[in-house]
Amino acid sequence: MRAIAMLQNPKQRKLLFSAGLSWLFDAMDVGIISFIVAALTVHWKLSAGQVGVLTSLNSVGMAFGAAIAGYLADRYGRKSVLVWTLLIFSAASGLSALAASFTVLCILRFIAGVGLGGELPVASTLVSESMPVQDRGRAVVLLESFWAGGWILAALIAYFVIPKYGWQSAFVIGAVPALYALYLRRAIEDPPRFRKERSGESSFGAKVKSVWSRDYRRSTVMLWVLWFTVVFSYYGMFLWLPTVMVLKGFTLVKSFQYVLIMTLAQLPGYFTAAYFIEKFGRKFVLVTYLVLTAFSAIWFGGASTEGMLIAAGMCLSFFNLGAWGGLYAYTPELYPTAIRSTGAGLAASFGRIGGIVAPLLVGVLVGWGIGIQAIFILFFVMILIGALAVLFWGDETKGKELSS
């Protein structure tokens, strides 16, 4: 809250907090499924392959949601699309509590993913367009910091609620954001920049063509590589984190406790990134935090004691989520207003392919008996590829006004 108070304009603080809470609920839903999967592995006797399918279907929905919502937000407005995506994922989450079979749960998680994937690029675009240039990067990173709050809330629900009331109770809590959507509808407005410069009736194909035009092609390639590698590593590592802890010999409840401790390290990761992003720039934050994430992954994969496991997990959370903050701040700044949300949505959508592949791949590798250390070496390589893409192809946007 103190970090949000750094913004001078009360309307901007209100917008950031309002959009941030929707982001928190989004993260809570994603976080809850990682803990529920660990519980269902015990209660439904899910195989490693089924765990991979369930977590990947959520990302399939997010890929569709990001692309569709990005275009709709450029055509009909950021606010209305944000509210609808919030309603979609909260309704699907609540209905997931009634799922009596693996197949039904998979269908509902796909629908929830459509809402989840649609909300994130739209919210970051809305906040980016609403802030003055000197605060824009910091504000979007602070928006992303609400993600940590959602994961912490998910970890608390997993630790205190799931063992006592069952996994269904966690999904019921996930329906609460539907009520918040009613407040959000009245609390926020579309940015003046969008209302002034909106592009109206352009087709989806025309906007995609603009995103891939000569002026933006290099930025688009760089962003798609960056998004794919970051999402691949994040969903491959973090959705499997409670299950990995169980595979390393800890009980289900103990694994939830350790993941909660690791999750707390996300907050200082965001706040340091928010400071550095306006002091040293977007490329500095992304490259530095991604490289340190890569080495944290190697450390975590090879950790053999409780102390090393927790320390490595905290570093992984700190640097990975700080990089996510830089990613969301950077992406909307590379496109003009008419295609900003479409460009951000398409990059996020392509990135979600990594979120589809990674959990499935980890499930297959675990099923083949591949060790956790070898799996985390794969994440190390993928993260470094993303860092190199930014280093060599990225343009610095610190201090530059958004293009019209």
- The phi, psi pair for 378, rounded to 5°, reads -60, -45
Torsion angle of alpha carbons 72, 73, 76, 77, nearest 10°?
170
Task: State both tokens at 265.
Answer: 């390290």
**Is the Cβ–Cβ distance between 72 and 81 less than 8 Å?**
yes
**Is the Cβ–Cβ distance between 328 and 136 less than 8 Å?**
no
Show pLDDT as tens, one digit a residue, over the chain (404 residues): 455 555 567 888 888 988 888 889 888 888 888 778 878 887 888 887 787 788 778 888 989 999 999 999 998 889 899 999 999 989 999 999 998 889 999 999 999 999 988 998 899 999 999 898 888 999 999 998 898 888 888 878 887 888 888 889 999 998 888 888 878 877 788 887 776 665 556 788 999 999 999 999 999 999 999 999 999 998 888 767 766 766 666 665 566 677 778 778 888 999 999 999 999 999 999 999 999 999 999 998 888 777 888 888 899 999 999 999 999 999 999 999 889 999 999 999 999 898 888 877 887 887 888 888 888 999 999 999 999 999 999 999 998 888 76
> What gap in Å lies between CA 143 and CA 270, rounded to an integer?
9
Tally: H helices and E strands in the chain:
18, 0
> What gap in Å lies between CA 70 and CA 217, rounded to an integer?
18
State the CB neighbour count (10 A cutoff) for residue 206.
14
Domains of the chain: 8-183+212-393 (1.20.1250.20)
Task: State both tokens at 248.
Answer: 């390393």
Torsion angle of alpha carbons 83, 398, 351, 258, nearest 10°?
-80
pTM: 0.84
**Is the Cβ–Cβ distance between 244 and 40 less than 8 Å?**
no
Secondary-structure percent of the chain, ordered helix, strand, coil, rounded to 5: 85, 0, 15
Q: What is the CA radius of gyration of the chain?
A: 20
Computed from CA positions of residues 232, 17, 4, 156, in that sequence, does the dihedral angle turn out positive or negative? negative
